[in-house]
């Protein structure tokens, strides 16, 4: 996806309703647009975090006057889970107690907090515990597909857990080949699976902190952005790794890949 089109989708996406509408209108898979929306929300949270911290006393006062966690989330355009956490911290809850509240809101003694937590956690598709579990599942699904693909190629490899079990420390890719394999006319010694859309700015961070380190330690590799990537990445990436997306795997696992491309952290 070229940067101009990515910018259009980034600016246009504000809800999961937008994801479905733009997917139908422009023929882009739901999973890709969902990833872009996720990244936009996370970016906005980072930008507004400190500003909201400065308003924490105001938030508590508004909550005391009757505004719910969900009401305040809409008013300040901030995820309901994070709004509730900020308020709970400022009315005396510690981090462990807040984690317990999120784990099972039904056990919360205060009736109002119990009700509002249930509502806010059920509508937060980005930062609620359920959303985190779905993101983890998405990551594991991408890794599972690559594992099956490597097995189909009869390639011997170690996954990250195997490397840790064998005492390998430091930064490790998701897959390390016992012997390099040829992929798209280049040798590949490692593979990193990213179950997201490859945005240029974030790619630069990954390249600096992960990919370049893998190349130094293990040789040339392959980075998989399952839901696509900005094509400008190909223009500025350094040697040492290739970049691919779902297209590399769809002929071997057409049904699994098609199903994966509809993945959304929504219920």
Domain boundaries defined on the chain: 3-129, 140-260
Half-sphere exposure of 113 (CA within 13 A, CB side): 22
What is the SS3 assignment for 229?
strand
pLDDT of residue 5: 97
CA 199, CA 32: separation in Å to the nearest integer? 11
Q: What's residue 146's pLDDT?
A: 98
pLDDT confidence of residue 238: 85
The token pair that represents 244 in the structure block? 């691919």
For residue 39, give both structure tokens. Answer: 């990244």
Give the per-residue pLDDT at 48: 93
pLDDT mean by block of 10 residues, the chain; 267 residues = 96 96 97 97 94 94 97 95 95 94 93 95 94 96 97 94 83 94 94 98 95 95 98 92 97 97 91
Per-residue pLDDT, 266: 87
Q: Which of 264, 253, 200 is nearest to 32 (CA)?
A: 264
Q: 3-state DSSP: the chain helix, strand, coil percent, rounded to 5?
A: 60, 10, 25
pLDDT of residue 236: 87
Pairing of strands 221-225, 241-244: parallel
Q: Could you identify the residue written with the tokens 């590799």?
A: 221
pLDDT for the residue numbered 126: 95
Cβ-based neighbours of 162, under 8 Å, separated by 6 or more: none
């Amino acid at each position: 996806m070229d940067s101009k089109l990515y910018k259009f989708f980034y600016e246009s996406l504000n809800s999961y309703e937008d994801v479905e509408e733009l997917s139908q209108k422009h023929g882009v898979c739901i999973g890709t647009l969902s990833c872009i929306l996720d990244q936009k929300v996370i970016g906005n949270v980072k930008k507004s975090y400190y500003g909201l911290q400065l308003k924490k006393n105001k938030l508590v006062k508004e909550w005391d006057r009757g505004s719910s966690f969900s009401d305040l989330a809409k008013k300040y355009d901030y995820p309901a889970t994070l709004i509730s956490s900020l308020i709970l911290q400022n009315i005396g809850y510690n981090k462990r107690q807040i984690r317990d509240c999120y784990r099972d809101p039904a056990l919360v003694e205060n009736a109002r907090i119990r009700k509002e937590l249930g509502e806010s956690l059920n509508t937060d598709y980005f930062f609620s515990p359920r959303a985190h579990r779905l993101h983890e599942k998405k990551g594991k699904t991408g890794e599972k597909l690559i594992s099956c693909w490597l097995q189909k190629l009869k390639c011997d490899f170690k996954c990250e857990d195997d490397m840790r079990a064998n005492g390998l420390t430091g930064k490790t890719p998701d897959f390390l080949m016992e012997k390099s394999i040829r992929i798209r006319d280049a040798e590949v010694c490692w593979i990193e699976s990213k179950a997201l859309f490859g945005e240029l700015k974030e790619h630069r961070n990954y390249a600096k902190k992960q990919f370049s380190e893998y190349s130094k330690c293990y040789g040339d590799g392959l980075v998989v952005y399952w839901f696509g990537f900005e094509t400008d990445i190909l223009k500025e990436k350094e040697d040492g790794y290739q970049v691919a997306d779902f297209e590399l795997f769809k002929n071997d696992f057409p049904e699994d890949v098609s199903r994966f491309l509809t993945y959304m952290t929504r219920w």
